[in-house]
Structure 1
């Protein structure tokens, strides 16, 4: 089902047109019928033989009932712009057009009424005037159909035009969490509370448990009707009446929203992209009191712009502070009017709750950051940023953004591609690039300071970096892994340092280690003892010798095997001996290799186990051979 809406000036024949099209009188109030004027929203079904169905919302045309018109306009997909051929476009014609433009109505048909009262030439004049009035709006270039509600002339042509327009409208998202703005509430004897509205997205099923937002009151769906026909379920785009149990009618007001459970969070602050109306732009300030029309609700608030509106019709980033919580989803459209006078100020697209943004509009003003054209992207980016150094999974992000998992994953990939977020592996989680870079800068500063103060150290262990960031060591390790892949950090043997910051010994340390390790590459493969080195350095008063020793081992200048410490030249010599001996017969015993090393079994066995461990050799019984590539 799709939703059609009428719009236009008072007395231009909107309600009569609905009767002509459907046979149903949308004026349900006695006063409306007595005065011949629509005061509130009216509804009627429109069905076609091929199964295409639509609901028509008839809105009041009088300026004093504009708030009622706005309550019904939010769900419209096809506009019937009704203009009298007698009067032509009038003030409410233009205002309704501007409102529906801000609400992003998808399609329009211009209906010229009262054509039985004027000559053909006057009809042409009226048509020309209305086309001029429609420039720059959803109705620009729309087909014009001339009708007479009194004689029925043109009604079938209009039905055909409506059918053609409905056939190409895109379907609404029936898989998203259910969201039903309530425009009517009443009590039905024997049944209890009934609410009605246009189901903007999702599906509602009989027996389902839902929430009344923003109070978040639980309720159960007792029964469903679509224009008087009972149904077990209704999908997005339907005009639906929902019989609820667990809620008194007095607890529900127009503007409340019936939602799926655990899908939406009410918020007093909304991050929006605001488009000002050119005619009233001069009335805007950086902080402007407004009436926000959100779905069927009218909420007082204050619009805080990210920058002055200047002389442009371009959209601006803004935060809408509301007097009471509102429940919306990314991409929701809303209309803003002034407090006094109640002039139209502009329209806005909801990007998400402002309280999920870590920096708020004040920092956005400094950064000049603007929301994306795609509200889902903006909301996902904000939610990831709000997580700071607590990474979020795609499922968690989707739930927070009130979008399907596939939509969240698509947005995440786009944000990764634009380098606005960073993906962490095992498990897949996400943090914002800004948070990531800030953390990297803090770690970079810590590593620079560590190397400056202790140049002989190999670097910092991940547990110490975790302390710098005030995070768990496992998370710090995941960040460090990404930094290493990007070339921002290096990790020799579990010690992290900036690229190029290898350990540097001071003169005393260099002299000491020179005396401990002979530089003669022909020396037999006899190691030094780690414990003995530490003890000797302590006895000689060599500062930080243990740290310097560990640093040299970490970066591969020395190799520690158990308590034995070798120079890398000695390890390279042992490698060459293994390759030479095993080349003769394909393998060698431990005693053969011991003799080639020129050392004892005490040192040869740990050496051979070291080469087994690094994958150079493979032990097969009492033989060792080179591991095949």
Structure 2
């Protein structure tokens, strides 16, 4: 299977990021008229990079101008590695340094340094440029990373760069495709005849064509009608891929960059976030208590204020600062997400770090709160296990040890607590996960009942299939069994429904359906075709199959053939009459004399009795199945 990666292209304006992208991918990412006229990147650019058959790579070309730093942050927030692009004839520039600060604060661990425009300088200048770069990246994640020297126009050094990218990507673990799907939106547009399309990098999980997805923070479910990866239609998209999703049931005007498309009921929005903050080394201005900030999280930008609990102002600090952000608008995040915060005026990067609690509370100023945040930041064994299970849903003890870094004895001790459940004696999940699966199943069943009110329920196989990208089959079956015992859901063979669901016609058509049934009852056995009755009541043709399935499933009518359906009252009366007028065994002629039915109705009527196991045909005669008959009559 292919592995999926996203590479960010960062660096100062006019250092050749867009030209290098074009040279590597043959895609010119400056698509806007203004970008082409001014010859600068304003918006994020995207292109597929072909490296090996085993790798599917997307390049994000971010703007280099200081005015477009917010686009830059949105672009690199979801990358797996970076190419820091520096022109040989200019060397390290202000935006080179700021981009490097932002990449470091976002927790980017891998990258390469690409020195461009090498044909513009001689060997001595190139050596000086390299020395300048090495000094600037000292102490950063790029310190020991490889250099590549290229000229995009002359296509010098591109093969070596590609080989270097392959080597670096091979050592990067793939993103989690098994987690709950999450895609922060960085582009929203419409396609004529198709409707609203969103695009972004899948942070985690997987989405498939036809899936219902949730739009946050505003809420609401929409359908992923079609997926594309770099203009190529795909059946699914997964973590690490650039995916465009055609959404059904939502207008472009209701979406914006920063919104999140995710698996239903898996994520929540928040306006209060506890954070571990690392400041930039050269912070120019003091940040006062409750100072206005702009948060860059994923692709979102939200204003708010910063709240300290151990100081009243912030200067450059080498130590991690535990504090809180109180935002003016909700964002979607979870523990461990990386962020950048900037000063709105004058514009400068304050720092960045990691979310330690996506749903912070109001705390008192003082050491007690700092101790609490420190403990939360470090994570207790129970919290670490809980987080691992929320991500993976079900893990073996061995995998829990690997994911948390805890000792085996600690893991065994924690999972024996009330907050965790062992499945089949081999795997572990948490009550939080079981509750999440329960809510998801109840939501799916409720949605199904709303869409198909006349059906008894949803098939178990369909329910498992609908959730396979998020929950394993065993986990869903475990929850079904638990909820069936609690009688919150009903299991009828292969069919599952909410406990209080009773099949019924749509309210809009209910009166007309019962008009049809009343007419059938009056017609007794000399009925007109059911389709004629439905047409007479002006019931929609697209409901025909559902209605026929409903009235036969609920045994409101009995079909003698594809056209003739007898109301259950006269049908049962005729069965009683036939039973009273015949002995244990009877012939076709005896049945005719007992019922008075013509052959048109009598033969299919008797065959229906065989089908219902009320009688059993033996050559030219039938025998009453007395046990089945008594049970059927009593229902």
TM-score grouping bracket, smaller chain normalisation: 0.5 to 0.7
Report deviation, 1:333.
Answer: 0.5
The residue correspondences of 1:44-59 to structure 2 (distance < 5 A) are 44-59=47-62
CA distance in 2, matches of 1:419, 1:379: 11
**Contact (CA 8 Å) 1:316, 1:370: kept in 2 or not?**
no
Does 2:215 align with 1:215?
no
User: CA 1:300 to 1:310, structure 2 compared with 1: closer, same or farther past 3 Å?
Assistant: closer
CA distance in 2, matches of 1:231, 1:430: 34
Does 2:76 align with 1:73?
yes
TM-score normalised per structure 2: 0.61
**Contact (CA 8 Å) 2:280, 2:351: kept in 1 or not?**
yes
User: CA 1:319 to 1:9, structure 2 compared with 1: closer, same or farther past 3 Å?
Assistant: same
**Contact (CA 8 Å) 2:11, 2:99: kept in 1 or not?**
yes
SS at 2:288 equivalent: coil
Q: Deviations over 1:23-51 (max 9, x none)?
A: 11111212111221101100000012333
TM-score normalised per structure 1: 0.61
Aligned to 1:404, which of 382, 390, 393? Answer: 393
Which residue matches 2:332? 327
**Contact (CA 8 Å) 1:289, 1:339: kept in 2 or not?**
yes
CA distance in 2, matches of 1:426, 1:9: 50
Does 2:6 align with 1:3?
yes
CA distance in 2, matches of 1:97, 1:426: 42
Which residue matches 2:437? none
Unaligned runs of 5+ in 1: 383-393, 432-629
SS at 2:351 equivalent: strand
SS at 1:253 equivalent: coil
User: CA 1:367 to 1:237, structure 2 compared with 1: closer, same or farther past 3 Å?
Assistant: closer
SS at 1:320 equivalent: strand
Aligned to 1:140, which of 139, 143, 166? Answer: 143
**Contact (CA 8 Å) 2:6, 2:80: kept in 1 or not?**
yes
**Contact (CA 8 Å) 2:381, 2:411: kept in 1 or not?**
no
Q: Deviations over 1:273-329 (max 9, x none)?
A: 111112117522343321000111110011212323576311122111110111112
Aligned to 1:250, which of 247, 250, 253? Answer: 253
Which residue matches 2:295? 292
Which residue matches 1:263? 266
Which residue matches 1:550? none
**Contact (CA 8 Å) 1:131, 1:141: kept in 2 or not?**
no
Does 2:17 align with 1:14?
yes
User: CA 1:361 to 1:31, structure 2 compared with 1: closer, same or farther past 3 Å?
Assistant: farther
Which residue matches 1:339? 344
Q: Deviations over 1:38-75 (max 9, x none)?
A: 01100000012333121000000000111111111101
Report deviation, 1:218.
Answer: 1.1
Root mean square deviation, CA, Å? 3.0
Q: Deviations over 1:474-510 (max 9, x none)?
A: xxxxxxxxxxxxxxxxxxxxxxxxxxxxxxxxxxxxx
**Contact (CA 8 Å) 2:296, 2:302: kept in 1 or not?**
yes
Which residue matches 1:174? 177
CA distance in 1, matches of 2:141, 2:346: 26
User: CA 1:426 to 1:31, structure 2 compared with 1: closer, same or farther past 3 Å?
Assistant: closer
Q: Deviations over 1:383-406 (max 9, x none)?
A: xxxxxxxxxxx88x878x666344
Which residue matches 1:349? 354
SS at 2:186 equivalent: strand
CA distance in 2, matches of 1:412, 1:104: 20
User: CA 1:320 to 1:421, structure 2 compared with 1: closer, same or farther past 3 Å?
Assistant: farther
CA distance in 2, matches of 1:162, 1:371: 38
Q: Deviations over 1:384-433 (max 9, x none)?
A: xxxxxxxxxx88x878x6663448897697799499989655986999xx
Q: Deviations over 1:313-362 (max 9, x none)?
A: 1112211111011111221100000021110000020122234x5x7364
User: CA 1:188 to 1:371, structure 2 compared with 1: closer, same or farther past 3 Å?
Assistant: farther
Aligned to 2:240, which of 210, 222, 237? Answer: 237
Number of aligned pairs?
415
Does 2:109 align with 1:120?
no
**Contact (CA 8 Å) 1:82, 1:113: kept in 2 or not?**
yes
User: CA 1:367 to 1:87, structure 2 compared with 1: closer, same or farther past 3 Å?
Assistant: closer
Does 2:316 align with 1:316?
no
**Contact (CA 8 Å) 1:274, 1:316: kept in 2 or not?**
yes
Report deviation, 1:138.
Answer: 2.0
SS at 1:322 equivalent: strand
Moved more, 298-307 or 416-425: 416-425
CA distance in 1, matches of 2:343, 2:416: 44
**Contact (CA 8 Å) 2:400, 2:411: kept in 1 or not?**
no
Aligned to 1:188, which of 170, 175, 191? Answer: 191
Moved more, 302-311 or 90-99: 302-311
SS at 1:323 equivalent: strand
Unaligned runs of 5+ in 2: 422-428, 432-635
CA distance in 2, matches of 1:70, 1:284: 21
